[in-house]
Homo-oligomer: A and B are copies of this chain.
Amino acid sequence: MAEARRDAERTRSELLAVATEVFAEEGFSGARVDDIAARTRTTKRMIYYYFGGKEGLYRAVLEEAYRGIREAERAIDVDHADPVDAIRALAELTFDHHVGHEAFIRLVAIENIHRGEFIRQIEGLRTLSQPAKGLLDEILERGRAAGVFRSDVDAIDVHLVISSYCVFQVANQYTFGHLFDVDLASPERRAHLRAALGDVVVGWLTAPAR
């Protein structure tokens, strides 16, 4: 029984891992249930057994991906006394974090193509505290208290600036790179991009309020 359960868990997680790859690569419509099954040691039938169908599998993938990314975000820590150093460090670590999770970013892009209809069905995802946001709140608070940060900016504003930059540079690298003839993924470009993001956030936050 315990062994059966262990096998079951292995089957389930193998399916999930492969499905994550395939959905991230091909999108929801582009992914093939047969293809996913063929890449595992189980059969297609198990997808229905464990996840109810393609949509259930996709939802499970999405949920697991978000949980994993939150987990990883929790590792981001900046212990700088200086809020300016801290915010730059947070921006840059967030940048690194995105670079390392292209599959997740692709899944999010795919989910947005579907106007978020699946993420809305996942219970308890929203309540999953966003570690980065808590950190942001705290840094901003300190900066404002120290008089070095402008006061008309809140954590969501900053998070959106950082996220958009980090996501775009991964998600839109193909069209942007082609049109402007640059390779956004090259090490040199990445280093430049990373530093520039710190400049943007620091420059913005330390400027006087409008």
Report which A residues bind B (CB closer than 8 A): 26-30, 106, 108-116, 119-120, 125-126, 130, 133, 150, 152-153, 156-157, 159-161, 163-165, 167-169, 171-182, 193, 195-196, 199-200, 202-207, 210
Contacts and interface: CB of A to CB of B under 8 A. Distances in A.
Given A109-B171, A110-B113, A157-B196, 5 more contacts: A108-B172, A111-B175, A114-B174, A152-B199, A153-B199
Given A30-B27, A168-B168, A174-B112, A161 B210 contact: no
A109 to B, nearest CB: 5
12 contacts: A27-B29, A30-B30, A109-B113, A112-B172, A112-B173, A116-B175, A119-B175, A153-B196, A164-B164, A164-B165, A168-B168, A206-B207
B203 A207 contact: yes
Copies of this protein in the complex: 4
A176 B160 contact: yes
B112 A109 contact: yes
Contacts of A28: 30
B30 A116 contact: no
Contact of A165 (B156, B161, B172, B195): B161
Contacts of A177: 116
